[in-house]
Chains A and B, each alone.
Chain A
Amino acid sequence: QKEVEQNSGPLSVPEGAIASLNCTYSDRGSQSFFWYRQYSGKSPELIMFIYSNGDKEDGRFTAQLNKASQYVSLLIRDSQPSDSATYLCAVKGGYQKVTFGTGTKLQVIP
């Protein structure tokens, strides 16, 4: 059973701080890694994807991948109240099957 694990939270950070969200996965054959944001009652929205070890930055977001440790993380700099949502980690193998984690709820406190 391929698993993607996330701390369910809530993770509370003050406005302007850095939010750090973590994810581990069990399938060493995983090739693609994604972070989605899901507001309550809405559909997932893609934030970042990463394929290679290291960091990938896009605006206030940085995705980090360590395949040896089977670990993916998402950093959100200068957190805003509008960032309050559930963040889903997703992992894709060689074919198109995607496994999602249960998500981490982020609360940004004004």
Chain B
Amino acid sequence: EPEVTQTPSHQVTQMGQEVILRCVPISNHLYFYWYRQILGQKVEFLVSFYNNEISEKSEIFDDQFSVERPDGSNFTLKIRSTKLEDSAMYFCASSVATGGDTFGSGTRLTVV
């Protein structure tokens, strides 16, 4: 069964550093997403991406964050100047035009 692949599974970074989280969405999906889930809290939408541009973003997704689809398969989330409160599980997801999202297994980001 097709799956969304995320790397790395766990990333530890020092406060103030930049991190790039990587995702390979399902190949025939058209919409790509990043979500985050702080431990014990709900899943929060960050951004959606369609046709090589951001289609929707939340208030969380400020200038610290950026997304890119550098080639035909990868989808990345860059977090600049990380803060302690950025520590969370980050999920990539993808979908076709209708139906729900298929989530990757996530990247646990720990900022120390």
Which A residues are closer than 8 A to B by beta carbons? 32, 34, 36, 42-46, 49, 88, 90, 95-103
Contacts and interface: CB of A to CB of B under 8 A. Distances in A.
Contact of B56 (A42, A88, A95): A95
Contacts, number: 53
B31 A46 contact: no
**Interface secondary structure of A, over-half rule:** strand
A95 B55 contact: yes
A44 B103 contact: yes
Nearest to B6: A43
Interface residues of B, number: 24
B104 A43 contact: yes
Interface stretch (B10-18, B38-46, B63-71, B72-80): B38-46
Given A95-B48, A95-B56, A101 B42 contact: yes
Nearest to B91: A43
A100 B44 contact: yes
Which of A45, A95, A98, A102 has the most chain B CB atoms closer than 10 A to its own CB? A98
B86 interface: no
6 closest Cβ pairs, A-B complex: A96-B48, A46-B100, A43-B103, A100-B43, A97-B56, A95-B56
